[in-house]
């Protein structure tokens, strides 16, 4: 008999297999930004668990993005992305020891820009429409993301979302 957990994992894998690769990368960038924001909050609040869990998730996403680049692709964009991802992996790995919030903020700026470029190029080329929003402070973006994941939550939704998945 198959356990419920194994069954859920199977269905999640099936669902993710149906997501277009371009959209999947976009989703990874969005989640990475959320994990970086939550790690930054954990650092500010001196919450070791929140910081650690979200840094680990951010590092895992960056690793996956790096691995998704075509092996043997030596084009300038691929080399740039590899270098960017590897630099972020090295620097974010040090944050637990250095407690340097500037590293997280820099990673957020890089990922935000990569996400914008992805939306302007790959997403549009593949027929995905991306709603462009005006620049807003990070906390507003986090609140919107929290509402999208848990519409019944009120205050503290961002903090709760930091512990999700």
Which tens digits make up the pLDDT trace of 75-105? Answer: 999 999 999 999 999 999 999 999 999 999 9
Domains identified in the chain and CATH numbers: 20-162 (1.20.120.340)
Q: How far apart are CA 113 and CA 103, in angstroms?
A: 16
Buried b (16+ CB within 10 A) or exposed e, 91-107: bbeebeeeeeeebbebb
Which residue positions in the chain have pLDDT lower than 50?
1, 135-138, 140-142, 144-161, 163-165
- For 39-55, the pLDDT digits (tens) are 999 999 999 999 999 99
């Amino acid at each position: 008999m198959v356990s419920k957990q194994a069954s859920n994992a199977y269905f999640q894998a099936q669902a993710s297999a149906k997501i277009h690769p371009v959209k999947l990368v976009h989703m990874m960038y969005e989640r990475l930004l959320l994990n970086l924001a939550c790690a930054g909050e954990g650092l500010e609040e001196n919450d070791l668990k929140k910081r650690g869990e979200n840094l680990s998730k951010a590092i895992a996403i960056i690793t996956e993005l790096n691995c998704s680049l075509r092996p043997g692709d030596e084009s300038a964009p691929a080399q740039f992305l590899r270098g960017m991802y590897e630099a972020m992996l090295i620097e974010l790995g040090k944050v637990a020891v250095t407690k340097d919030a500037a590293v997280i903020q820099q990673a957020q700026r890089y990922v935000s820009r990569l996400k914008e470029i992805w939306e302007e190029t790959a997403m549009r080329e593949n027929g995905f429409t991306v709603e462009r929003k005006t620049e807003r402070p990070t906390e507003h973006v986090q609140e919107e993301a929290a509402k999208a994941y848990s519409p019944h939550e009120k205050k503290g939704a961002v903090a709760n979302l930091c512990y999700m998945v």
